[in-house]
Structure 1
């Protein structure tokens, strides 16, 4: 069991194949857990409407998919699902926050590099203003400097009250996030002392 209070961070670190991503997908309600339950605000996540859950919990997959169209269109997609709009100013703020330059907003999203897609997906997740940000290997496709910038952004988001759960094989990123560190080995979680 893990508990992630509002505004707190949890890092789940372990080697490839240890079950980290499976655990993240279960937290995101993309897989049903073998045992236990995922609770959000004290409610069983399986009883929360999927669209409502996705509004409150943003999941960033290890290999994010891009929608057809521009990067701007990708950023607008999340809020539109919930009947909201994303201003050009806010789109620019989000893209800069993840370390990209504004001209990328006009590029075709599917032509981006793996690292660019990862950062655009993070900006897209943040566009919905979630309560919880759940990230599966958010720095895996990034160079070291970009990875450190993303971890710094996650710390900043946490300071603003966003709960952050990050799955990573990078121990340095897990420690840099702050908060509680869990180790995952052979499908089991243990708190790091």
Structure 2
């Protein structure tokens, strides 16, 4: 009988010690989590870019361009690398009677011009920035070789604007796109044509 009791006692002792050790580990997990590996850090969440502000009640967007503003030029962009465009108001809409030309009042000098090269535009959103897109850019706020959006109404409405085509988007992460002519523009300074 001694031969059976001693091994049984040894087995019970081992099981008891193992259970006590297991109990201590379980308490560590539940009470202080010291045996747990730390949870992975949360994925960084970048807030989506704020969409460009639509025209306000006063009719101006973030570039101080009003709902009834047009950009005009003597000729279309065509094969030019870029052309200057001028902020204007339509006086006479184009018609068959005017051979498709509209009459415009240029905001900067107050003179009237007839042209068939005129465009409405809005501030570009990220999805509209693509290679070959025809864009309008404010020229009056250049920093570090990059054209930035106008920072004041008087600058926007009396400064120079130009039209070009997007030629390179690979530097968007640096805060600019390249347009024909090799010019760099902040995405916040880009307007696209309204069709």
- State the TM-score, normalizing by the size of structure 1: 0.24
Larger RCO: 1 or 2 (CA < 8 Å, sep 6+): 1
- Structure number with greater Rg is 2
Higher strand share: 2
- State the TM-score, normalizing by the size of structure 2: 0.24
